[in-house]
Structure 1
Amino acid sequence: MSIKVGEDKIPYIDLGDGYIIRLEYEDLSDEKYIEKAKTELRESPENIEKGLHELRRLIEAEKDFTFPKEADVFLMTFLRPCKFYASSAFEKMQKYFKFKLKHKKVCENINVKSVSNVFTEDLIKYLPLRDINGRRILYLNCGKKWKPSRVTPNDIFRAVQLSLHAAMAEPMTQVNGVTVILDTDGLSISQICHFTPSYAAMVLDWLQNCIAVRLKAIYIVNNSYIFNMLYAVFKPFIGSKLRKRIHFLNKDWETLTSKVGEHALRKEFGGDLLVDDVDGKLLVEFLNLFHEQFELVAHAGYGVCDEETKKLIDKGVEEALTYISKA
C-alpha cells in the first residue's frame, strides 16, 4: 500500500489488487451519469453558462466577500447540487460561509495537519469504490475505536468538513452525491456524554443547510440502545428530508448490500471487497498533497479581503486547477 502518481500526474493511493483511492476531478464521461445530470440537475450548456454568469454577478455584488469567482470548477461545486439555479447556489454559499464566520472554533484553519489525529485513529475513511448509484462512500467509526481523550467531537466535525470538501470538486460526486456509513459498534455511555444539544444543532445546521453536497443516505450500523440515547440528542434538529435518508440497520447486511452494493463493502458488512483498509497515516499523507485547496476553502468567505488572503486564495486556485486540468 503506497501513494503513487498516475500518467495524468494525479496522485492516488494504491491499495493493491487493482484498488485505488483517488480524487476524481475529471469531467463526466459515462453517458449514464451525463444523462442523470441532465434529468435530475437541469445540466445543459445553456444552463451552465447562465448559472456561472449569474452566480459571478451575485458574488461581485456581495459586500466584504471573497471567493474565487473566476474559476468555474469552484462555482460548479455550488451550482450542480442546486440544479444550476444561481440564486439557490448563492444562498447556499452565503449560509456556508456565514456558518463558518459564526462557528470559528470548528471552522477556522481546517487543514490536514489540524485534523490528522482523526484519520490516524482510523475514524474516517474513503472506501475505494463508489456505491451502486455512483456515490462517494464515506465511512465514519464513532464506536469503541473512538477515544474522546485523543479525538474530540469538534475534531471529528472538522475532519468531516475536510473530507467532504475534498469530494465537493468531483463532478461524479456533485451529480450522484455521498453515502455515509456510520459504524457505532461498541459505543458507550461515557462517549455519548461528550455530545451536547448545542453541538447537535450546529452539526445538523451545517449538514442540512450549508454544505453543497447531495447527502443521499446515512446507514447506521452496529447500533444498540446506547446509540438510541445519542440519537435522541440529535433528533429534534433533524428535518424531514434528512430523516427519510437515515437508515438504522444494526447488522442487517442484506439491506446494506442491496442499497450500497456487495462490490463496495467489506466482508464485515456483508460485502465481497477483500482489499486491505487504507492506513490512516497514509490517508493523511495523501490528503496533504491537496493542502492548497483546503487552504482556499479556509480563507474564502466573509471579512477576509486583505491582500495576503487574496494571495492565498489565488495560490489555492492555481494548485487546484493544476490537478483538475490534468484529469
Structure 2
Amino acid sequence: MSIKFNENNHPYVELGGGFGICINRAAYEEDKQLRVNDDLPEETAKAVAEFRRLAESKRNLNLVVDQSNWTVMLYLKCYENDAKRSFALIDYGYRLLYKERGYALPYAQIRHVFEEGLIRYLPECDDDGAVIFIVEMGRRWDPSKISLNEFIAAIRLSGLATMLNPDAQKNGCRVIFDVDGLSMSQISHFTPKSSNFLFDLIENCTPIVTKGMHTVNNGMLYNVLWAILKQFMSKELRQKTYMHGKDWNSLTKHINPRCLPPRYGGVLEAPDCDGKIMAEFLQHYEGYFVEYNSFGYTDCPDSK
C-alpha cells in the first residue's frame, strides 16, 4: 500500500488487488498552474466578473475572485456559471466560519484524525457514481487524543477534499457513520453548538449533494445522541438519514454490496486504507485547504 501517481500526475493510494483511492485532481501547485494558464470560455469569464462584483459589495469580505481561486471556479462549474447562486454558497460558508473559526484548523493540527483511520474513502463509487466515505465515531475515537473540535474540523476538510472529486461534483456522496462502541463519555462531548455547525456545514456550505447518511452499529446509547443531533437537521436531511444498526440487508438496499467491506455486509475485497497512508495522500491537497482558509470575513459580516 503506497502513494503513486497516475498518467495525469494525480496522486492516488494503491491499495493492492487492483483497487485504489483517487480524487482525480492534480495536487495543489500543479492544478493552480493549469487553472491560471487556462483560457476561460466567455460565459465563464462573465460569471467570474459577476461573482467578483458580488464579493466586492460585501463589507469586510477578503476574497480573491479570479481563476486562481479553486473554490470560485468549482462552485461556478457545479452551478453552471450561475454567479448569484455560487456566491451565495461561498458567502454563507465564510459567514459560518467567521462565527466558528475554531473549526478552521490547519491540516497539520488534524492530520492525526486521518492517521487514526477515523475518516477514509472507499475505493468504489456506488451504482449512481456517488462517492462513499466512512466516519468512525465509536470505540476507535478517543476524545482524550482527538477532541470533538478536531474531529469536526477534520470532517470539514474531508468535505473540501470531496468537493475536488469530479465524481462527487457530478454524482454526490454517501456517508457511513460507524458508531460501534459509542460511549456516554463520548456523547457528553457533543454540544448544540458543535451539532449545529456540523449539519450547517453539510447542508449549506458545499455544492456536493449528500445523497444519504447511513449510521451503522448504533444501539440504545446512540439514540440519546440522535435525539440531540436531529434537532439541528433540516427535514430534507433527516429524510436522507438512515439507522441500520447491524442490519446489513438494510444498508445494502441503499449502497451496492460490491462497494462495501464484508464487515458492512458487502463483498468488496479491497483492503482498508491505512490511516497514515490516507493522511499522506491528503497532504498533497493541503494547498487547497490553506487557500480556502486564507479567505473570509475579516470583521463582522453585513446582514444579508
For the Cα contact (< 8 Å) 1:117–1:150, is it kept in 2?
no
In 1, the alpha carbon distance for the partners of 2:209 and 2:46 equals 22
Secondary structure of 1:157's counterpart equals helix
In 2, the alpha carbon distance for the partners of 1:288 and 1:254 equals 36
In 2, the alpha carbon distance for the partners of 1:147 and 1:20 equals 28
Q: Which residue of 2 aligns with 1:187?
A: 182
Q: Which residue of 2 aligns with 1:78?
A: 75
For the Cα contact (< 8 Å) 1:125–1:139, is it kept in 2?
yes
> Aligned match of 2:171 in 165, 171, 176?
176
Distance 1:244 1:46, change over 3 A: farther
Q: Which residue of 1 aligns with 2:98?
A: 101
> Aligned match of 1:140 in 127, 132, 135?
135
Q: Which residue of 2 aligns with 1:244?
A: 239
For the Cα contact (< 8 Å) 1:68–1:74, is it kept in 2?
no
Secondary structure of 1:118's counterpart equals helix
Normalized against structure 2, the TM-score is what?
0.86
Q: Which amino acid aligns with 1:100?
A: L
CA offset digits 1:69-94 (Å, max 9, x no partner): 21275324323555643222211111
Give 1 or 2: higher helix fraction. Answer: 1
For the Cα contact (< 8 Å) 2:10–2:25, is it kept in 1?
no
Return 10-19 or 204-213, whichever deviates more: 204-213
For the Cα contact (< 8 Å) 1:110–1:162, is it kept in 2?
no
Q: How does 1:1-327 map to 2 (within 5 A)?
A: 1-25=1-25, 51-71=47-67, 73-82=70-79, 84-107=81-104, 109-111=105-107, 113-303=108-298
Return 199-208 or 2-11, whichever deviates more: 199-208
Deviation at 1:61, TM superposition (A): 3.3
Distance 1:252 1:84, change over 3 A: farther
CA offset digits 1:171-229 (Å, max 9, x no partner): 32112111100001111112111112222122222222223321111011111111000
Q: Which amino acid aligns with 1:69?
A: V
Secondary structure of 1:258's counterpart equals coil
Distance 1:177 1:68, change over 3 A: farther
For the Cα contact (< 8 Å) 1:80–1:175, is it kept in 2?
no
Deviation at 1:278, TM superposition (A): 0.5
Normalized against structure 1, the TM-score is what?
0.81
In 2, the alpha carbon distance for the partners of 1:156 and 1:137 equals 18
Kindly report the root-mean-square deviation, in angstroms, between the aligned alpha carbons of the 2 structures. 2.1
In 1, the alpha carbon distance for the partners of 2:220 and 2:229 equals 15
In 1, the alpha carbon distance for the partners of 2:43 and 2:242 equals 34
For the Cα contact (< 8 Å) 1:78–1:89, is it kept in 2?
yes
Distance 1:231 1:83, change over 3 A: farther
Distance 1:145 1:102, change over 3 A: same
In 2, the alpha carbon distance for the partners of 1:259 and 1:18 equals 25
Q: Which residue of 2 aligns with 1:30?
A: none
In 2, the alpha carbon distance for the partners of 1:180 and 1:47 equals 34
Instruction: Report sequence identity in percent.
Output: 34
Distance 1:257 1:83, change over 3 A: farther
In 1, the alpha carbon distance for the partners of 2:269 and 2:84 equals 45
In 1, the alpha carbon distance for the partners of 2:206 and 2:215 equals 21
CA offset digits 1:278-314 (Å, max 9, x no partner): 011111111112221111011022229xxxxxxxxxx
